[in-house]
Chains A and B, each alone.
Chain A
Amino acid sequence: MSIDTARLRGDFPILGREVNGHPLVYLDNAATTQKPRAVIDALTHYYENQNANIHRGIHALSIEATEAYEGVRAKAAGHIGATNPQDIVFTRNTTESINLVARAWGDANLGEGDEIVLSLMEHHSNIVPWQLLAARTGAVLRYAGIDAEGRLDLDSLRGLIGERTKLVSITHMSNVLGTINPIAEIAEMARPAGALLLVDGAQSAPHLPVDVTALGCDVFAFSAHKMLGPTGVGVLWARPGLLAEMEPFLGGGEMISIVKPEGSTWAEGPHKFEAGTPNIADVIAFGAALDYLQDLGMESVREHEKRITAYAIDALEGSGGITVHGPHDVEVRGGAVSFEVEGVHPHDISTIVDAYGVAIRAGHHCAQLLMRHLSVPATNRASFYIYNEEREVDALVAALDEAKRVFGYVESRTAV
């Protein structure tokens, strides 16, 4: 079923606003998405009707809040094809999920000379936690390269994975190039080496149908705020049995079983990793976001984004003086589209298109290794979601035409 954007946009209050006298054209969805009314209402509903601390009260409110919170664990598991909700841990965001693994699994399992394999297209949140782990343990980082089209170089990756590899941590979809990485194939490389495979799903869980079992990964991390949900909620899924093998992350209430003066025992399952009062309200509202996406169907979400991404790549490159980074075939890429405008720096572009109400991102996108590889200091990035329409791409292209005019693009082309 295809997505009816005209109808669906009515569910997003913010899309009705103006920016600098123009209707908002929100094309920064890889950074964070907008929220539908259902999610905003779920937050208010919780605070107006159910607010209580969870897992501790015997009273009605606490029981209701606990059920609502735990219900979202099941929805989050369902969203990524996980069989057991008890393998889902709620964190603050993808970044915290990855740091949790680096601490709770990494500190106990890595030593001097062990190797961690990453790629050049990783977000800083899938680089820096491993650098810190390497500094603590003496482990070594290895980076798989990418080819001229912006695809992961699988031969380079295969060559890096060996006996000393303890961990392979790769993004499912690049937040800069849009590249979708073949995780199942990578799992085939990691498994014989006995390496743990962590997948950064921050950009895939919102945009693609995901089935962690079919992917064959050990750990999968993502953020609620990039998929219609509130900020402050992240998810960590670990393959059955793995959480039990891991050491605790933060210590405190909720994560213990019995506390004695000489030491404590840990709570079972995900609770061992959810110390203190969690972000109850936002987790519950995230449930409304997951319902919204499941109602649309992730296949439809993906189809919609393929269509608008193909349209955007054609429109941008067709307008002159613009180069799109990353693969151009929408079968192997998602809707994060980075591009260069000849002779105009991304910050100048952002300032100009913002005046037309168009929100795109300029910068290194937390991917400085990739920027260095592309030999650019920064890129422009437009990124799409379920509510974006082709006319919004047209508005972007028109605003870019204005940027080219200000910077004398036509003149400089004829002059040289």
Chain B
Amino acid sequence: MSRAEPQFDELYREVILDHYRRPRNAGSLEAPTHQAEGANPVCGDEIELDVAIDGNVICEMAFRGQGCSISQSSASMMTERVCGATVAEARRVMQLFEAQLVESAEPDPALGDLEALQGVAQFPVRVKCALLCWKVLHAALETNDNEATTPQGV
């Protein structure tokens, strides 16, 4: 079995493994305005998320978690992509990301690095790993978020 199955290089792209080994924005915030946590009980993947929102801009995020490379790299990439964005923009990226995984939609340029996770769409049982952090972000934004007018489930 020296030959590499091509699908793995598609699923586990270098950028994913890099975020898995060196997660960005790992840890906690001193003064989060929004917080949430979530788990996939079947897998044992866990994510806790701190978000600091000023006005309607997400200015800081930090997460703590454990789980597979997909769940943890997804969280790391999400924080990178969403920090500095408005809440509305974050929600839009959330929708695009879900479409990429669930409907195998062509990746939108707005996704940035998150595009690397598109290989997960070929492994339906792993999609929930990639979506976990977004569910948690969604829940965090719902907590006392004055901006939220149309909550969308992930």
A interface residue numbers (CB < 8 A to B)? 344-348, 351-352, 355-356, 362-364, 371, 377-378, 398-399, 401-402, 405-408, 412
Contact = CB atoms under 8 A, between A and B. Distances in A.
Contact of A406 (B12, B43, B66): B12
Q: Closest 6 interchain pairs by CB?
A: A347-B68, A345-B68, A377-B44, A398-B1, A378-B44, A406-B8
Contacts of B8: 352, 355, 402, 406
A402 B5 contact: yes
B23 to A, nearest CB: 13
Interface of B, secondary structure class, is mixed
A371 B46 CA distance: 14
B1 A378 contact: no
17 contacts: A345-B68, A347-B67, A347-B126, A347-B129, A348-B12, A348-B68, A348-B70, A351-B123, A362-B43, A364-B44, A371-B44, A377-B44, A377-B45, A398-B1, A402-B4, A405-B4, A407-B17
A362 B46 CA distance: 15
A381 to B, nearest CB: 13
B69 interface: yes
B11 interface: yes
Contacts of B11: 351
A347 B1 contact: no
Contacts of A398: 1
Given A347-B70, A352-B8, A402-B4, 9 more contacts: A348-B69, A348-B70, A351-B126, A355-B8, A356-B5, A377-B45, A378-B43, A406-B9, A406-B12
Of residues B1, B7, B21, which shows the largest number of chain A Cβ atoms within 10 Å of its Cβ?
A: B1
Interface of B: 1, 4-5, 7-9, 11-12, 17, 21, 42-46, 66-70, 123, 125-126, 129
Contacts of B12: 348, 406-407
A345 B43 CA distance: 10
Contacts of B21: 412
B46 to A, nearest CB: 7
Contacts of B123: 351
Contacts of A407: 12, 17, 69
Nearest to A412: B21
A363 B42 contact: yes
B120 to A, nearest CB: 10
A347 B5 contact: no
B17 A377 contact: no
A225 B122 CA distance: 31
Contact of A346 (B68, B70, B125): B68
A402 B1 contact: yes
Nearest to A355: B5
A18 B11 CA distance: 22
B70 A377 contact: no
A355 B45 CA distance: 22
Contacts of A347: 43, 45, 67-68, 70, 126, 129
B119 to A, nearest CB: 11
B1 A345 contact: no
Nearest to A347: B68
A362 B45 CA distance: 12
Given A347-B129, A377-B67, A408 B44 contact: no
Contacts of B68: 345-348
Residue among A348, A356, A408 with the most chain B CB within 10 A? A348
Nearest to A399: B1
Nearest to B66: A377
Q: Which of B5, B21, B44, B67 has the most CB of A within 10 A?
A: B44
A345 B129 CA distance: 12
Nearest to B46: A377
Contacts of B45: 347, 377
Nearest to A408: B17
B43 to A, nearest CB: 6
B67 A345 contact: yes
B11 to A, nearest CB: 7
A399 B3 CA distance: 11
Given A347-B68, A348-B12, A348-B69, A363 B44 contact: yes
Given A348-B12, A348-B69, A363 B43 contact: yes
B64 to A, nearest CB: 13
A355 B7 contact: yes
Contacts of A405: 4
B37 to A, nearest CB: 14
Name the residue among A345, A346, A352, A362 with the largest chain B CB count within 10 angstroms: A345
Residue with the greatest number of chain B CB neighbours at <10 A, chosen from A344, A347, A364, A408 = A347
Given A345-B68, A377-B67, A407-B17, A356 B44 contact: no
A402 B12 CA distance: 12
B19 to A, nearest CB: 13
A352 B7 CA distance: 9
A407 B4 CA distance: 12
A81 to B, nearest CB: 37
